[in-house]
Structure 1
Amino acid sequence: MSIIDRYTAGAARPRGWSHSLAFFLTFACLVLLLLAGFIRHTRAETAPVPAGLVTLGDIESGALLFKSTEPGKYVPAPLLATDVKIDVSGPIARARVTQRFINPGDGWVEGKYIFPLPEDSAVDTLKMVIGDRVIEGKIKEKEEARQIYEEAKADGKKASLVEQQRPNVFTNSVANIGPGETIVVQIEYLQTARRDGDTFSLRFPMVVAPRYTPKEANPQFVDFEPGSSGWGDVLPPERDDTLEQPPVLRPEMGNVNPVSLKVSLDAGFPLGDVASPHHEVMIERDGKRAATIALKDELVPANKDFELTWKPAATKAPTAALFRERVGKEDYLLVMLTPPSGDVQPEAKPREAIFVIDNSGSMSGPSMDQAKESLLWALDRLKPGDTFNVIRFDDTLTVLFPDAVPAHGENLAVAKKFVKGLEANGGTEMLPALRAALTDRRSGNEDRVRQVVFLTDGAITNERELFSEITSNLGRSRLFTVGIGSAPNSYFMTRASEAGRGTFTHIGNEQQVVERMSELFEKLGNPVMTDIIATWPDSRTTESWPNPVPDLYKGEPVVLSARMPEAKGTLTLKGEVAGEPWEVRMSLDKGEPRPGIGKLWARRKIEQLEADARIEGDWERNDKAITAVALEHHLVSRLTSLVAVDVTPTRPDGEKLTSKDMPVNLPEGWDYDKVFGEQTIPASQRAQMKQGVMAFASYAPAPPPQADAGGLQPVSLSLPQTATDAPALIHSGILALLVGMALSALWWLRRHWSATAWARRAR
């Protein structure tokens, strides 16, 4: 008789015991079967994968993963943390940018990070820290530096290479970062603070915004050799000047590349207001002239530019500054002079104002709102005698009126309705809009001042083509650029306004619209400071930049850099301010000694040589001069790079090296789908930008602080660890689920057996 038969037959002693035994045996069998299946599943899940590749189950902390060619397997991307220290002394700033490259995976990697710096930065220092050793970077011609780096990478040596793509866009490549290893790279640069009236400002860009590349064929040329009998060969395309762009993460996937930042400010005069328009900061005053500024949050995502502004106390700001540096057998000078605005203002001429507004996809969100609000504000400030027109562009173009029309009520109403209805979408085909704005139907008319106000984020790659258009077809127009958004292309905006003999204004948020547009319209409505001539003691041995001195607007200082055998004698500046003659003299031997003036001079000279090459088209002659200046002053340029190489190979022979670009954040306020929509960017470029896949969007914890290495103190960033021991928790959860299912099944069987036994006894 079976246990069940005896139970249902009502046997005295075995009934309770047989029920417990059945329950125990059934439970044990089910658990063993489930555990066996679970173990097989776990073993299959953790099967060995190729070196350097991981599965999602392998990840035990926050990691950024790239898809590999093998399904379900990923390459852990190197992570990045950045610390910025900026020391401001008078109008001169020296910044130290520490980039900590972290390899969270178990393979060897090469990390490549594309990052922005101020467009006037003179990058002169590269240091690579490995343990307690510091390796100084050397300046080389670009191709030579690249070759040195590639050879070191192939030999398994740690190496770093800093290259310039644009004056405000750089790349840092770091080779042979070992499993779980961190390499610290420090970059230093010099720049001058900007002055506008009584306000001084400094910007540190944090993210390279995605740039639109116009859809044009790369031209090729046919070469006809002498005696070719009419047959020629098609030459390969000229050097590709497109901007290399990093993959961009979708905002909902989180942020990468955390940044800490601190500024030590010594203004040289009593400080008044100190503020940061786009970040919350803590300000500690140190006496009347100095302050320390730090981010309120220890770490912020690298998704918008940092800006610092400061003003003098109740008294007016100093009108002149003179600094000098002796390098070798020569003196270098930096002169900053703010002319008075003049008590008597001549009657301003009526203007022909051409407003150009960018409504491409990159302007979507707050940027579009800021641009529209700025333009509506400008339309309200036009005077009855003015004329105007409005041009909008994305990858199409609309010119509102056939020609500039009088600024009266009906025309303004049509324009305002047009502006309010604009939406951001499409590509950024800027060149046709610029050509339309510079088309002047009354080029000989001197009764009006023709001013082009260009509102855009400048998110394009064909800057050289646009500069050429400005210098070739500016005519009597003056170009005023208004940079919109959290991360504008300040290099393009600044150089375009300089080439257009206008000014650059940045509007980073809606709170700045009225203030910044008011300042711009005050400049537009006031006569320029014209015909400025700088006369040096010995013009034959003095080399100064810019040359000639450009026209200036109200509140803007004359900024000159000069090199001469000895700083002595008197500098004389002459010009007209508000129609009145103006002259000032300055003794050159009174300059305050300050390091870095020579490098700032060299940077200004390189800028001038680049501008001359764009205008003259003689790149070969100017390139030789640029290379010579950059090598002499140890500066990164379009033609020179900094490279640092460790002498000892660290990557074992046979170990594979994986190379990946490090993703960047989308600038704050940008709409990812508008920027990377199917109709926005060519497929090849879109694929390049989307190559980064975020599996876990979080920061890895920073390794322990390193000791001081040769006077260099690598920063230790305490990054939040947002992940858990995922595999252990997943396995525990599955096991708990299986046990729960087994207990539920046994509970049902026991109730079923009990009910059956009760029914039989009842019969």
Structure 2
Amino acid sequence: MLARMENPSHHFAPKNFNQKLSALYFAAALLLGFIAFGITVVAAPDRSADLDDPDVSLSPYFQVKGAEDGVDALPLKSTQVDAVLAGVIAGVRVVQTYQNEGATPLEARYIFPASTRAAVHGMTMTVGERRIEAQIKEKAEARKTYEKARREGKTASLLESHRSNVFEMNVANILPGDTVTVELRYNELITPEEGEYEWFFPTVVGPRYTRKATGPAREKQETLPLDPLAGSKRLGGEGLAYLGENEDGENEPVFTLTAEILAGTRVQKMKCVSHRIDTEATGGGVRVSLPPRAGIAMNRDFILRYRLAGGALATGLMVDSFKGENYFLLTVQPPARVEPAQMPARDYVFVMDVSGSMWGFPLEVSQRLLKEMLINLRDIDTFNVLLFSGSSRTLFETPVAATTENIAAAIALFESGRKYNDYGGGTELLPALKRAFELPRTRAGVSRNIVVITDGYVDLEAEAYALVHESLGDANLFAFGIGSSVNRELIERLARAGRTEPTVIENEKRAQNAAEKFRKMIESPVLTNVRVEFAGGSLSAPDVLSQRPIVMCGKWPDHIDPSTQTIRLGGQTGGGEWSTEISVADAVDLNSNGTLALLWARERLWELKDLHALRADAPKQKAAIIELGLKYNLLTPFTSFVAVDLTPRLSADAASQAKKVTQALPLPKGVSELAVGVTEEAVDSVPTSPEPETVALLIVAAMVAAVMWRKREQKMRRGAA
């Protein structure tokens, strides 16, 4: 309960105060539920995600087409992940094994997640004794090649990207008894923060709320391919289907993972916040592994965090060449954070997702995060809270001062709705963002900071990026992802458009740390107006708001000999201008034949996709993305991997008898079943309503104001000390 004192000896009320307070809470919450809120009450079980729960879960399944009803699925037998983490570069190999135990040939469709940072440069499909190496082609051509092979009874595979972190694999003409192995290879960058490295491997695709396809941005041919997974229904419907809470798969897969950290020094404070791991010291670092046993959870991201002895960071300059072109990877530790003597007043708008997918554990974490952030505000700051699902509502008509009473009212509003099941429905993020940007201001010249807290389960990444990019003005936007398997693409694109840094929070303990990180980012950015200059080019970089190294990939023009060049990095700190120069002569030559080229191409792809989202000459950006994918053998929205075994295994007649059978996937851990089957048509049950009544709200707010005042005073005294 919010009003519980941390030290019982300091109570200032009779012993039965808490009981009376509980009764008042209940009565006030009823008033808020029926008077202030216009949200339909949706009951749901408490499915909080406790990381100490047994690592038992259901695995993703293929969506299959069978020659007859009742055909066996292609259950996932095992997933094997091998990663090498060296400095800020990770090389990852994923091998997933499936088996057709049925009596009829299959065409399989498999949806699986990937890291948003992944530069996917290779894919191999093995069916029985046949090993098929995929080739990169323009998306339409690859699909045409695959469909032709399927009709001819040939085994073929097609890998497509629907968004940066969701891929689709199609495999045609898999015979009974076949074992299918899919191997995926990618590289990615790892950027440490506050001296801590984090590497994650996603294991599950979460459900996405979708709106109807409207407007020119969804009608023009040049737009990025729409996600076919959005608007998913339960078993038997369109898109992805998800297993119900009490449904079980016949066989639990084996999930094994090995990550070798090549550090050159001792690895310290290593922890996996998602799974139980085994560790083994090696000559150059440490090897982390998941025990090879069935039932290890694949319904949440694998998250590994670690530090190097003495706070060491892998900094410096690395160079590499690929097809006669020269690339570099620059990693520079920024200057120390400078605390300003005085901070100007700021205005905050907290945009909170209370949709169906946030029910339970995500809402609990969101409440903790909001509470910690509000307590950190100063009296000279102003704030407002906007809750959204199918509609949105604000706590105040205009921003109010961050007084103890107003902060208590905000926390009481959020807590009462969560406790009494007042939240649920769709995830109308775009209208909520528009409203947040349009909310009136009470003071001119005060910087506004919009804080978005969500699991990101929508299919509007490009639209959200464009909206934020075009609406910022003198505001910043901070994005916080909540949950065990967050849609990181949305969180990262919101932060990039908002000129800030993304944050993902998987439990309540991290919420407190994230709130403190947010305070530091706001009060004293490490480095702003970051610029990198080198012979023949320059790079822009987002502001460095936390203590993390600046990691940038670059490419020299063909006519430049980089061996005699320098790279200059500069920016603005709280204490003035800062700059440093790095000589290319001191760089480490990787001689990797393309690793840095792939990483540069992946960063370039993000730039082109952002321009595409802004409708900046879309045909030109599409052509540039295709050229990039074909040149660097890179999976993109407009290029795909396709592989064909030239030997027919079925007659054309047999291959044409395929029938779709939808197979269910597990929901991410902690995500309620309310997240499945929600489309725009279902939002009618969550109508737009007037703002909460002030009188009803104050009934709750008054009871917690004194406690909030006490907590803030304690925090201020600790800060002064």
Range class of TM-score, shorter chain: 0.7 to 0.9
Distance 2:648 2:65 in 1: 27
Within the alignment, does 1:379 sit opposite 2:379 as a pair? no
Within the alignment, does 1:426 sit opposite 2:450 as a pair? no
Residue 624 of structure 2 is matched in structure 1 by 625
Give the aligned residue type for 1:165.
Answer: H
Whether the 8 Å CA contact 2:163–2:227 is kept in 1: the answer is no
Q: Which segments of 5 or more consecutive residues in structure 1 lack a partner in the other structure?
A: 1-61, 222-233, 685-763
- Given the alignment, which residue of 167, 172, 188 partners 1:170? 167
Whether the 8 Å CA contact 1:283–1:292 is kept in 2: the answer is yes
Within the alignment, does 1:559 sit opposite 2:556 as a pair? no
Give the aligned residue type for 2:497.
Answer: A
Q: For 1:435, what is the secondary structure of its paired residue?
A: helix
Q: Deviation per CA, 1:528-559, whole angstroms, max 9, x where unpaired?
A: 511222120x22xx4x6xx4222221313222
| Structure 1 residue 592: Cα displacement | 2.2
Q: For 2:344, what is the secondary structure of its paired residue?
A: coil
Residue 466 of structure 2 is matched in structure 1 by 468
Residue 92 of structure 1 is matched in structure 2 by 89
| Structure 1 residue 630: Cα displacement | 1.0
Q: Deviation per CA, 1:481-531, whole angstroms, max 9, x where unpaired?
A: 110001111011001101101111111122322223222322222235112
Q: Deviation per CA, 1:147-200, whole angstroms, max 9, x where unpaired?
A: 111111111111111100001111111111111211112111110113212011
Q: Cα–Cα, structure 1 residues 109 and 549, in superposed 2: closer, same or farther, change >3 Å?
A: same
Distance 2:665 2:415 in 1: 32
Residue 107 of structure 1 is matched in structure 2 by 104
Distance 1:126 1:548 in 2: 32
Residue 476 of structure 2 is matched in structure 1 by 478
Q: Cα–Cα, structure 1 residues 641 and 620, in superposed 2: closer, same or farther, change >3 Å?
A: same
Q: Cα–Cα, structure 1 residues 251 and 567, in superposed 2: closer, same or farther, change >3 Å?
A: farther
Residue 670 of structure 1 is matched in structure 2 by 671
- Given the alignment, which residue of 542, 564, 577 partners 1:581? 577
Which stretch of the first structure deviates more once superposed, 127-136 or 138-147?
127-136
Q: For 2:540, what is the secondary structure of its paired residue?
A: coil
Q: Cα–Cα, structure 1 residues 203 and 482, in superposed 2: closer, same or farther, change >3 Å?
A: same
Whether the 8 Å CA contact 1:479–1:503 is kept in 2: the answer is no
Q: Cα–Cα, structure 1 residues 682 and 100, in superposed 2: closer, same or farther, change >3 Å?
A: farther
Match runs of 1:48-127 below 5 Å: 74-80=70-76, 81-127=78-124
Q: Cα–Cα, structure 1 residues 572 and 439, in superposed 2: closer, same or farther, change >3 Å?
A: same
Distance 2:67 2:154 in 1: 28
Match runs of 1:383-402 below 5 Å: 383-402=378-397
Q: Cα–Cα, structure 1 residues 279 and 416, in superposed 2: closer, same or farther, change >3 Å?
A: same
Residue 199 of structure 1 is matched in structure 2 by 196
| Structure 1 residue 69: Cα displacement | 12
Distance 1:514 1:443 in 2: 29
Whether the 8 Å CA contact 2:111–2:168 is kept in 1: the answer is yes
Match runs of 1:380-529 below 5 Å: 380-423=375-418, 424-439=423-438, 441-442=440-441, 445-446=444-445, 448-529=446-527
Q: Cα–Cα, structure 1 residues 286 and 417, in superposed 2: closer, same or farther, change >3 Å?
A: same
Distance 1:311 1:136 in 2: 37
Q: Cα–Cα, structure 1 residues 159 and 511, in superposed 2: closer, same or farther, change >3 Å?
A: same
Q: For 1:120, what is the secondary structure of its paired residue?
A: coil
Identity %: 30
Which stretch of the first structure deviates more once superposed, 619-628 or 587-596?
587-596
Residue 364 of structure 1 is matched in structure 2 by 359
Structure 1 residue ranges (4+ consecutive) displaced by more than 6 angstroms after TM superposition? 62-71, 234-240
| Structure 1 residue 296: Cα displacement | 4.1
Residue 176 of structure 2 is matched in structure 1 by 179
| Structure 1 residue 385: Cα displacement | 1.2
Whether the 8 Å CA contact 2:209–2:458 is kept in 1: the answer is yes
Residue 289 of structure 2 is matched in structure 1 by 294
Residue 603 of structure 2 is matched in structure 1 by 604
**Alignment RMSD (CA, Å):** 2.8
Residue 746 of structure 1 is matched in structure 2 by none
Distance 1:265 1:681 in 2: 45
Q: For 1:438, what is the secondary structure of its paired residue?
A: helix
Match runs of 1:526-541 below 5 Å: 526-536=524-534, 538-539=535-536
Q: Cα–Cα, structure 1 residues 414 and 680, in superposed 2: closer, same or farther, change >3 Å?
A: farther
Distance 2:194 2:66 in 1: 57
Whether the 8 Å CA contact 2:398–2:439 is kept in 1: the answer is no
| Structure 1 residue 649: Cα displacement | 1.1
Larger Rg: 1
Residue 241 of structure 1 is matched in structure 2 by 226
Q: Deviation per CA, 1:558-616, whole angstroms, max 9, x where unpaired?
A: 22111124432110111112232211111123322333111000111111111122224
Whether the 8 Å CA contact 1:339–1:557 is kept in 2: the answer is yes
Residue 251 of structure 1 is matched in structure 2 by 245
TM-score (norm 1): 0.74
- Given the alignment, which residue of 316, 322, 325 partners 1:327? 322
Q: Cα–Cα, structure 1 residues 239 and 115, in superposed 2: closer, same or farther, change >3 Å?
A: closer
Which stretch of the first structure deviates more once superposed, 592-601 or 634-643?
592-601
| Structure 1 residue 666: Cα displacement | 0.5
Distance 2:382 2:324 in 1: 56
Match runs of 1:651-662 below 5 Å: 651-655=650-654, 656-660=657-661, 662=663
Q: Cα–Cα, structure 1 residues 263 and 101, in superposed 2: closer, same or farther, change >3 Å?
A: same
Distance 2:144 2:168 in 1: 16
Whether the 8 Å CA contact 1:63–1:104 is kept in 2: the answer is no
| Structure 1 residue 439: Cα displacement | 2.2
Give the aligned residue type for 1:430.
Answer: L
Distance 2:313 2:74 in 1: 47
| Structure 1 residue 438: Cα displacement | 1.7
Distance 2:573 2:465 in 1: 28
Distance 1:408 1:99 in 2: 54
Q: For 2:321, what is the secondary structure of its paired residue?
A: strand
Distance 2:113 2:370 in 1: 28
| Structure 1 residue 388: Cα displacement | 0.7
Distance 1:194 1:347 in 2: 30
- Given the alignment, which residue of 548, 552, 566 partners 2:540? 548
Distance 2:351 2:658 in 1: 48
